Amino acid sequence: MSNQLKLGFIGLGIMGAPMAGHLVSAGHQVFINTRSKVPADLASSKATQCSTPREVAEQADMIFMMVPDTPDVEKVLFGENGIAAGLTKGKTVVDMSSISPIATKEFAKKINALGADYLDAPVSGGEVGAKNATLSIMVGGDEAVFNKVKPVFDLLGKNINLVGGNGDGQTAKVANQIIVALNIEAVAEALVFAAKAGADPAKVRQALMGGFAGSKILEVHGERMVKRTFDPGFRIELHQKDLNLALNSARALGVSLPNTATAQELFNSCAAHGGKAWDHSAMVKALENLANFEIGQKA
């Protein structure tokens, strides 16, 4: 194809694998690397497997990362055989992980010093959004670089916004995770209350959907709570990581986030009961433990 790009993708987990797949399906030349086994559908695709992040950076003009946490991004960028070792001037690095806004600004400066561009572009939408290419993408960085990468973002998501400079994309993602956690907590409280009061929580949820309390969380995660389907779309341990970013940043800024702290304690309770890998909608279990009552029980 005439507009074929050389793209790199590092991190092929629950989110990264389908995202990389969309780039391959669009006909681009894609160079991939991951620390675990390459998923079968990508292994059998036209994507080129690379043994190190450095090799990806040497081959691709735009290098995308989707890894779990700040230390992982730092290792992929600056570790032995990391991206930085393979960069040349004019290449672009795009971090789509959810990590520290403060660290992101430092990473961007180091990459810029090598003559390469840097965008932080964390996403919201979970596994479903990754598979359906409907992710919300919050971008921090230079507008000209954003415009250059935008056609690739369009292959991965629907709601794509340049928020500001480097780090601002990550700040927007942290804000997103605060809202999501507090919404999950509110829906969980409401359904535990309704069920303990003797009402059918499924019917209560349905009744609330059309009103002012309606939300995506009530629709999707409210159903998970009622049906007890807690296989992860987004694991509790990852949301704990994001709320740690929120609380640590808030401490540095002198800002109080009281309900974010409460949501984190509820996630901590789930983790203590073996639930680190549960879907984050399973926060309801912590509230059920406090009430000594499960939504599915008869009051």
Catalytic residues: 173
* Burial (CB count <10 Å: 0-12, 13-18, 19+), residue 81: middle
Phi, psi of 85 (to 5 degrees): -70, -20
Q: Provide the residue type at 198 as one letter.
A: G
Please provide the distance, in angstroms rounded to a whole number, between the alpha carbons at the two ends of the chain. Answer: 63
Contact 150, 84 (CB under 8 A): no
3-state secondary structure the chain: CCCCCEEEEECCCCCHHHHHHHHHHCCCEEEEECCCCCCHHHHCCCCEECCCHHHHHHHCCEEEECCCCHHHHHHHHHCCCCHHHHCCCCCEEEECCCCCHHHHHHHHHHHHHCCCEEEECCEECHHHHHHHCCEEEEEECCHHHHHHHHHHHCCCEEEEEEEECCCHHHHHHHHHHHHHHHHHHHHHHHHHHHHHCCCCHHHHHHHHHCCCCCCHHHHHHHHHHHHCCCCCCCEHHHHHHHHHHHHHHHHHHCCCCHHHHHHHHHHHHHHHCCCCCCEHHHHHHHHHHHHCCCCCCCC
Give the count of alpha carbons within 13 A of 128, CB side only: 7
